Structure 1
């Protein structure tokens, strides 16, 4: 029996996993505190002025409970802090500490090097085309019927 071709979502997940694995291993090798993929995703979606846990969960595509666990792990590591939300007395914002900003900048620089490695492997033209395609607006998700 032949294996069916992987669909585009599967290929995108594999590519994301490649980047995640490279980033997290590189950061650990550089002596940074180990974080999970979910914790790294929090940093990738965090606004400079702070973001609510509910908004982080929406952006990452996880439950509020999962986002809450990732955030509190990062707070315990000294990378994030909770502050009052000036727009709502009931809400708290999550934002990076000075150490969190330092680690995030290092992660961004590490990702740039990982992209350079990818360009060496598949070619700068392919990486440029990939970036162009992935930044093209897709519009609203379609509602389709399978044949």
Structure 2
């Protein structure tokens, strides 16, 4: 009988592959960010940072986009606010609501992360060929969206 570890080594399932990709990308991203002066960030902060908009975004939208519970997002916002990456501002469309807006430090992190992720994707596109990489991302996006619909 093949052990689970052996199966995941030779024929990993979708969850194992997705986890490996996520952890490898996070490792490269956050290691590179640390080297550029953002060592106080951790992969968990990605649930907010990956979806932060320069004009601000509501916490409920961050929760929806990231797939994380509102309480988790609230905790991440609190941490990022105390670290100086975001601030809460009144939403001009609804003064009762708050927008989560990047500070100058947050904007600098967003630019750095954008450069890192562009370089990472460019490296894979060169390695696989642009057409294959584009097809890969298209298929991966389809699988992700199909799976997300099953959780709603």
User: How does the TM-score come out when normalised to structure 1?
Assistant: 0.81
Which residue in 2 is equivalent to 1:96?
102
Structure 2: distance between partners of 1:95 and 1:10: 34
* Aligned-residue offset at 1:63: 1.5
Aligned residues of 1:27 and 1:34 also touching (Cα < 8 A): no
Confirm or deny that 1:41 pairs with 2:47.
yes
Which residue in 2 is equivalent to 1:31?
37
Which residue in 1 is equivalent to 2:128?
123
Paired residues, number: 142
Which residue in 2 is equivalent to 1:112?
118
Farther off after superposition, 49-58 or 129-138: 129-138
* Aligned-residue offset at 1:115: 2.2
Aligned residues of 2:47 and 2:73 also touching (Cα < 8 A): no
* Aligned-residue offset at 1:75: 1.0
Which residue in 2 is equivalent to 1:134?
140
Structure 1: distance between partners of 2:76 and 2:149: 28
SS of match in other structure, 2:95: strand
Q: How much is the aligned-residue C-alpha RMSD, in angstroms?
A: 2.4
Change (3 A) 1:62 1:141: closer
Please list the CA deviations of residues 22-43 of structure 1 after superposition, one character each: whole Å capped at 9, or x if unmatched. Answer: 1001111222233122312312
Structure 2: distance between partners of 1:39 and 1:106: 15
Which residue in 2 is equivalent to 1:85?
91
5+ residue gaps, structure 1, are none
Which residue in 2 is equivalent to 1:60?
66
Structure 2: distance between partners of 1:56 and 1:27: 21
Aligned residues of 1:20 and 1:37 also touching (Cα < 8 A): yes
Structure 1: distance between partners of 2:119 and 2:149: 33
